[in-house]
Amino acid sequence: MKFLFALLWLIRLLPMWAIGLLAAGLGNMAYYLARDRRRVGLINLRLCFPELSRQRRHRIIRKNFQYMIRMALEYGVVWWSKAERIDQLVTIKNLRYVSDLRAQGQDVILFYPHFIGFEMCVYALNQYIPLVSVYSHQKNQQLDQQIYAGRQRYNNAYIVSRQEGLRPIIKAMRQDNVPFLYLPDQDFGVRDSIFVDFFGVKAATITGLSRISKLARAKVVPTIARRVGNRFELEFYPPWEDYPTEDVAADTRRMNAFLEERIREVPEQYFWLHKRFKSRPQGEARFY
């Protein structure tokens, strides 16, 4: 692991375009070698975009591998490069949606789905505002310590373990109306999840966005991190009105519907290699 960290430390010295070239080559290799993960991505695309040709789906997944490798190589940048470099790499759009709510004394949840720019963009954002986030511990102790230390590099983040529940999250949010960075768009199993449509396929989806926003009386501000060439764009969308409602299923479907729209804009940049449809309704055949 020390060798890996040293390698990432050296890679961060490269210009971003050079990291991109390296990632393109390694991503192509991973596309051919990681057959099981490639199969997962292609199944996801077939379920979500049945109208696309087989060739188009393969191109999307190949590009997705390149982006995922590039994100991994850029961890050296987010962990050890100067804050000014990260700030200059990310264009932040419409941060006023969050700033205005905080100025009004309103708590905020940032709905922050898994797009490939999410790490770099959050390190840029954390330079401007404090954040609450949930952390899942890694099996490797050295990696766990480095990821945790990296997320604390600005001393401006409140990190809550996934095992601690909602109370510490809401408590941290209410300290100066600190926004909660929430990524609820993956399959976390059937516990605390309901099956709602995602691209027309039933997907186990946690209801936390609706539940936490109701408990905390917080506004939801969707936030999308995109890669634009060798740079990034972090875009904030208007706070959702009439959310949450008394219908948790409808709230959760609204979340997925918004995500679908954003994925259609940059399909290569979503986390397709995750088994999004791993959990199935009782009696339904598995996809993977």
Q: Model confidence over 128-143: pLDDT tens digits? A: 999 998 877 767 778 7
- Is 37 among the domain residues? no
Res. 120 pLDDT band, cuts 50 70 90: very high
- Is 275 among the domain residues? no
- Is 278 among the domain residues? no
Domains contained in the chain, number: 1
Mean pLDDT of 60-79: 96
The secondary structure of the chain, three-state, reads CHHHHHHHHHHCCCCHHHHHHHHHHHHHHHHHHCHHHHHHHHHHHHHHCCCCCHHHHHHHHHHHHHHHHHHHHCHHHHHHCCHHHHHHHEEEECCHHHHHHHHCCCCEEEECCCECCHHHHHHHHCCCCCEEEEECCCCCHHHHHHHHHHHCCCCCEEEEEHHHCHHHHHHHHCCCCCCEEECCCCCCCCCCEEEEEECCEEEEEECHHHHHHHHHCCEEEEEEEEEECCEEEEEECCCCCCCCCCCHHHHHHHHHHHHHHHHHHCHHHECCCCCCCCCCCCCCCCCC
Q: Which pTM was predicted?
A: 0.92
Print the domain residue range for 188. Answer: 83-269
- Is 28 among the domain residues? no
Chain segment 135-167, per-residue pLDDT in tens: 777 677 787 778 777 788 888 888 887 777 778
